[in-house]
Structure 1
């Protein structure tokens, strides 16, 4: 990959960025307007941003507005300004995480000399310490050919020690079924989908999910003879795209797109150390920017920043033995970080190819899904539908975010990854049709609670659903109910309607 200076330089001028939609900005006296999905954004004043200080500067310039209560019967355009979480609610979390990262970085420098390798930074003539702690063995081989990991896959000693004999045998059988499919010269994707639909247990090696996802997204070829060459070619293509996009540095980028991404990425998963690490944020910014300029019909839209994180986390876990959510990616060797970034880009692209109309002008894909959600609730749970109508609740007011971010704002990332096992097994419509039925089952689950509340109570409840303590069993039940509903109602004739 060519040397590129990724240092965050000053934003040369205030500007207005336009995203799909028709909502006009309301300027404030002190800084940036509140961000709106599918609207026009404006920024208040010229600022100088260098490295991580930029985020803190922007935060210090943004007014801390109190949490707004939902107003009765807001219009669709007014609602769109509430489609994402308020910035002020996460500022404190970001600052705490940054303090934690500074402490962790200082501790990393005290690692024994024999565990530290010194490398030259690609964008500065300075020596940077890189720790290899937590990396799996044979990294260079795994980078070149991830399928080499299959031969050595087994339950870890720590996993075996906490399982009884019956559990151990069950997980070993499950692992062997995956290995039998994956070790074929031409992998049977239907057989792999059947295994993956039920989810990859956490007790199995983390490498398994990374390989399976890449195969199901058809990024990694099924033919064993083509896999190494294809990976090398696609990764090189991504790096060339980055080199071209950043050829003139940050100042040469499309400032409309770059500024929005640069603001959104630090807000992504603010409670997780991995995503508050500056190295991770720079990777995500490059992935999102290159994707946006390669897809001018949609460009970058708020919400896409969430969708890249499951890929980044799953592919990171392929190379490390630690919990990825607590991992500092500045400890990774550059060649490992590069392939994680490139693989995340291509898999995000594959996912978005199937739902791109969710992010084009006026986001017609999301509007269609919300209309279908309303129709299905009318058919499946008429009392709930009648109560929502009586209280004047519009589905757009709560379901927009469910479709735009694929329920990632309502679930933990760990549970999102489990859901995506099934989504990827549902062929090309997993993130559209099957996700719609997951949302139907999700809304129906809260029916008893919602029918006891008025408009204000309904909106407050749906904006802060009690899923924080959910276990994997809850996700399994949700997916099972979604499958049942899809089997009954997808393309069903009108006589099945209950209303």
Structure 2
């Protein structure tokens, strides 16, 4: 307890300085951020360069960015027939530059985002619960993204047979089987906020677009910011998450870009480095996996691309991300953690066949490996083997 209190004081002292020493901050965060209110959220914003190190600029920076996000909401979530600039446009306009055509294309992306956002961390209730600060900038109810999804997804006929052979036909929407909590009119679930962040990011950063899995990157950020006890942090968690998510995607976006898969910044290069690191640390385990044709693409693509956000429970993911975001070489540590994860289940992998190993690696949470053990070993690997010698 005394040690934890001392660490907390170190963070508070550092964050109260006129200029935060980012190198010192990285060192502290690499060992994990305290769970005290405001500490982790502030540290992550600093580590992602959303906040400048000069503390007297924080208020102005936050105000400017939050106002900018309001502008994004206003300008990207619109119905074409209410936009004065497109009076001659109509839904059947064949022109590919038609605002209506772009609107329908956006809806296709929105359906995919909606499908993914609803499934964020089903093991906790947070994302299904209502936010205390729903968006109030919509020009009308039909502008809500939820309404657009409901209007876009056509009902489908489901034919059911009774035991007597009688056919029953019922109409169901695509979302019938999706987990949800019924909210009151005007309320928004936290997953709907994440959905809006992802949709606006797709509109603002058109070069990257939306790729399945981005919701898993956005979710932990939003959870950390929206879970703060002070009302201001909760109110502006959406805007803050948008910009921090954008900063992360600038750094890891290449791993989502299929055209760059084989490039030095693509995921295949990262997988190769991970396996070469494993070979240097434990050649026996490496050769065993190779002899069983256990291709790292079967599991490592998701591990590396999604920063392990699907492999552990959310509290453990947040703990791992403290180290990822504090990594001075930005996300190199992901590879060390992935290699450590393999090493931590060496006995099971050696004993298993191809199928058993793939199931084990694709459902890593079932191994019940202590995340602290994974991180400690990953730090040892980093000290022993620079990634430059594994490429």
TM-score normalised to structure 2 length: 0.73
Aligned-residue offset at 1:338: 4.3
Aligned-residue offset at 1:392: 1.8
Distance 2:249 2:198 in 1: 12
Alpha-carbon spacing, 1:468–1:491, altered in 2? closer, same or farther (3 Å): closer
> Are 1:412 and 1:468, in contact at CA under 8 Å, matched by a contact in 2?
no
Deviations 1:202-226 (A, max 9, x none): 3xx2211111111111111211221
- Structure 1 equivalent of residue 214 of structure 2: 304
Alpha-carbon spacing, 1:345–1:483, altered in 2? closer, same or farther (3 Å): same
**Residue 446 (structure 1) aligned to one of 345, 352, 359:** 345
Question: Superposition pairs for residues 115-134 of structure 1, below 5 Å?
Answer: none
> Are 1:207 and 1:317, in contact at CA under 8 Å, matched by a contact in 2?
no
Question: Superposition pairs for residues 36-435 of structure 1, below 5 Å?
Answer: 167=1, 169-202=2-35, 205-248=36-79, 252=103, 254-277=106-129, 278-319=188-229, 337-362=234-259, 364=261, 365-427=266-328, 429-431=329-331, 433-435=332-334
Secondary structure of 1:298's aligned partner: coil
Aligned-residue offset at 1:467: 4.8
Alpha-carbon spacing, 1:337–1:181, altered in 2? closer, same or farther (3 Å): closer
Distance 1:486 1:235 in 2: 38
> Are 1:264 and 1:305, in contact at CA under 8 Å, matched by a contact in 2?
yes
Alpha-carbon spacing, 1:245–1:193, altered in 2? closer, same or farther (3 Å): same
Aligned-residue offset at 1:266: 0.7
Alpha-carbon spacing, 1:493–1:418, altered in 2? closer, same or farther (3 Å): closer
Gaps of 5+ in 2: 82-99, 130-187
Aligned-residue offset at 1:437: 1.0
Q: How many residues align?
A: 308
Gaps of 5+ in 1: 1-166, 321-332
**Bigger mean CA offset, 357-366 vs 346-355:** 357-366
Secondary structure of 1:430's aligned partner: coil
> Are 1:366 and 1:400, in contact at CA under 8 Å, matched by a contact in 2?
yes
Distance 1:469 1:249 in 2: 51
Alpha-carbon spacing, 1:466–1:319, altered in 2? closer, same or farther (3 Å): closer
Distance 2:366 2:352 in 1: 19
Distance 1:263 1:312 in 2: 18
Distance 1:468 1:247 in 2: 46
